């Protein structure tokens, strides 16, 4: 009888261990994320780390370089206000003379297509940029109109790829796919620095699913103790050999901007 009791006790212990393993596996499986969910989680964390600036005025130089290496430069300013429904941005050119006063107003939204208006001082006309035209180049640069807006998390679907080295640091790699049927891209492949969750590189694939452009971010600095911003970024077009570089030489946060500063009827009065 004693031997039988020992056998029963041993079987009971094995059964308990088995049940515990099944339960633990079931619980962990229920919390396991799909690559789509994890990709969106990474994108949301990147967005969270980049938020909280309230408003910002940035001054920069845009340098255009063609395939042959010829360059032309422009000075511009960007004003941005951070809103719950989506950021609003105004980009204004100060030089060269023939583009002075050209302004682009962008209203980004989480739940619908963005709105964009372009002001051309030569004809004193505000032109609405329709969705079908937002994949076109912005004032001859390698940035499209759709690149100028703030990417809203809800406007894409995602796919987590994994981790890999970006030079000497570890990056998280994921893909995002525009929901907008008029987007010029089928997907963006994105690398972000794992520690600070800031952009390192974005590859843009065109409607034929071919690599079109690469945007790289360089020389980050930290502002207001929490926000990382690059000193310059460069967009290279693999299909034409042209590139556009933005050098940021001034950033001022907390200027007290409000929504009234970002109305289309204000574009003609911008200085």
The predicted-structure confidence for 45-88, as pLDDT tens digits, reads as follows: 999 999 999 999 999 999 999 999 999 999 999 999 999 888 99
Does residue 114 register a pLDDT over 80? yes
Backbone angles phi and psi of 260, in degrees to 5:
-65, -20
Residue 175 pLDDT level (bands cut at 50, 70, 90): very high
Does residue 26 register a pLDDT over 70? no
Q: How much is the pLDDT for 9?
A: 58
Please say whether the dihedral angle defined by the alpha carbons of residues 200, 206, 210 and 212, taken in this order, is positive or negative: negative
What residues does each domain of the chain span? 44-269
Place of tokens 């041993």: 10
Q: Of 17-21, 116-120, 154-158, which gets the smallest average pLDDT?
A: 17-21
Residue 270 pLDDT level (bands cut at 50, 70, 90): confident
Q: Which of 109, 110, 53 is nearest to 82 (CA)?
A: 53
- Portion of the chain with pLDDT greater than 70, in percent: 88
Pick the CATH number of 44-269 from 2.120.10.30, 1.20.120.80, 3.40.50.10490, 2.50.20.10: 2.50.20.10
Q: Which of 205, 112, 188 is nearest to 154 (CA)?
A: 112
Q: Which residue has the higher pLDDT, 137 or 29?
A: 137
Does residue 27 register a pLDDT over 50? no
Q: Name the pairing type of β-strands 115-120 and 199-205.
A: unpaired
Q: Are 163 and 194 in contact (CB under 8 A)?
A: yes
Here the tokens at position 195 are: 């520690």
Distances 56 to 15, 87, 118 between C-alpha atoms, Å: 62, 11, 20
The 3-state DSSP class for residue 187 equals strand
Place of tokens 């990709």: 39
Q: Are 271 and 256 in contact (CB under 8 A)?
A: no
Q: Name the pairing type of β-strands 71-81 and 88-95.
A: antiparallel
pTM: 0.86
């Amino acid at each position: 009888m004693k031997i039988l009791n020992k056998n029963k006790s041993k079987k009971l212990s094995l059964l308990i261990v088995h049940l515990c393993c099944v339960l633990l596996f079931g619980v962990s499986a229920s919390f396991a994320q799909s690559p789509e969910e994890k990709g969106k989680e990474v994108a949301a964390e990147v967005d969270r780390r980049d938020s909280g600036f309230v408003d910002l005025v940035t001054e920069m130089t845009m340098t255009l370089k063609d395939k042959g290496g010829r360059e032309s430069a422009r000075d511009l300013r960007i004003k941005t206000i951070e809103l719950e429904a989506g950021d609003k941005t105004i980009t204004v050119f100060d030089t060269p003379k023939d583009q002075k006063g050209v302004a682009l107003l962008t209203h980004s939204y989480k739940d619908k297509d963005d709105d964009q208006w372009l002001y051309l001082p030569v004809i004193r006309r505000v032109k609405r940029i329709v969705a079908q035209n937002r994949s076109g180049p912005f004032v001859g640069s390698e940035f499209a109109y759709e690149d100028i807006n703030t990417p809203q998390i809800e406007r894409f679907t995602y796919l987590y790829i994994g981790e890999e080295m970006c030079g000497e640091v570890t990056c998280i790699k994921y893909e995002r796919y525009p929901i907008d049927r008029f987007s010029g891209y089928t997907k963006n492949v994105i690398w972000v620095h794992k520690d600070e969750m800031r952009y390192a590189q974005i590859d843009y694939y065109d409607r034929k699913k071919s690599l079109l452009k690469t945007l790289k971010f360089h020389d980050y600095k930290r502002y207001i103790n929490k926000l990382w911003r690059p000193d310059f970024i460069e967009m290279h077009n693999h299909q034409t050999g042209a590139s556009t570089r933005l050098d940021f030489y001034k950033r001022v946060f907390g200027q007290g901007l409000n929504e009234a500063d970002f109305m289309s009827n204000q574009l003609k009065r911008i200085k």
